[in-house]
Amino acid sequence: MCEIDDQVEAHAVRQVSWYVCTVATVPFVALRMYTRWKRIGNLGIDDLLVLIALSCLIGDLVIQQHMWNLGLGDMSKVTPENFKGIMQMIIPGSTLYVTSLWAIKFALVFFYKSLAAPGSRLVVVYNAALAGLAVMYLVIFFDIMFQCFPHNKRWSHDPHCEPASSHVESMHSDFAQINAAKKPRTSTIGSPSSVR
């Protein structure tokens, strides 16, 4: 009995954390947009990417809640019809999640690129980083879309799907974390300061 109570509590904590993490971002993004608009008078591409990321995060929360309502919290009691509904939400949910992460990555690179002196070597580095991010995003996007094709294989009784995206995401995440540690220092040293 204690084990079941622990599982229910863990699922409830997970569901609450989805809302806390999503709702907590809204005032920070709103404050950023207000400040940028008030000080500069317009929004940059990095701001638009942050808004896209927030929209995708909210969309992913809606999908997670829908999956939860279908029985994600206790898969042992899920009907075949609800299981199919849960599996049908994997593609849009994964797409929104990955898009939100990549939008933030693109926003960071665009922000640091705006700090670099025009024509400097850093601009070339950031352009290469943008190209690399675009390639990685497309690889993961198409992997999500065509991992199981036709899509109904995901919820069939014998799908035979090989998850390759987890390896690609892991490899890119490690690479991105290593480079992210270097960016703030190298991008601001010797660059002209500007109000952002």
> Is 71 part of any domain?
yes
> Is 195 part of any domain?
no
> Is 20 part of any domain?
yes
> Is 196 part of any domain?
no
Structure tokens at 168: 């690609």
Total domains in the fold of the chain: 1
> Is 33 part of any domain?
yes
d(C-alpha 154, C-alpha 88), whole Å: 8
Q: How many residues does the chain have?
A: 196
Count the neighbouring beta carbons within 10 Å of the beta carbon of residue 152. 12
pLDDT by residue, tens only, the chain of 196 residues:
555 556 656 666 777 887 888 888 999 999 999 999 999 889 999 999 999 999 999 999 999 889 888 887 777 888 888 888 888 888 899 999 999 999 999 999 999 999 999 989 999 999 999 999 999 999 999 888 887 766 676 777 665 665 544 545 555 555 555 555 555 544 445 444 444 4
Question: What helix, strand, coil percent values describe the chain, rounded to 5?
Answer: 80, 0, 20
State which residues form the domain around 176. Answer: 2-188
Closest CA to 196 of 66, 75, 77, 47: 47
> Is 163 part of any domain?
yes
Structure tokens at 192: 């002209």
Structure tokens at 162: 């090989």
pTM: 0.72
Q: What is the dihedral of CA 92, 93, 94, 98, to 10 degrees?
A: 100
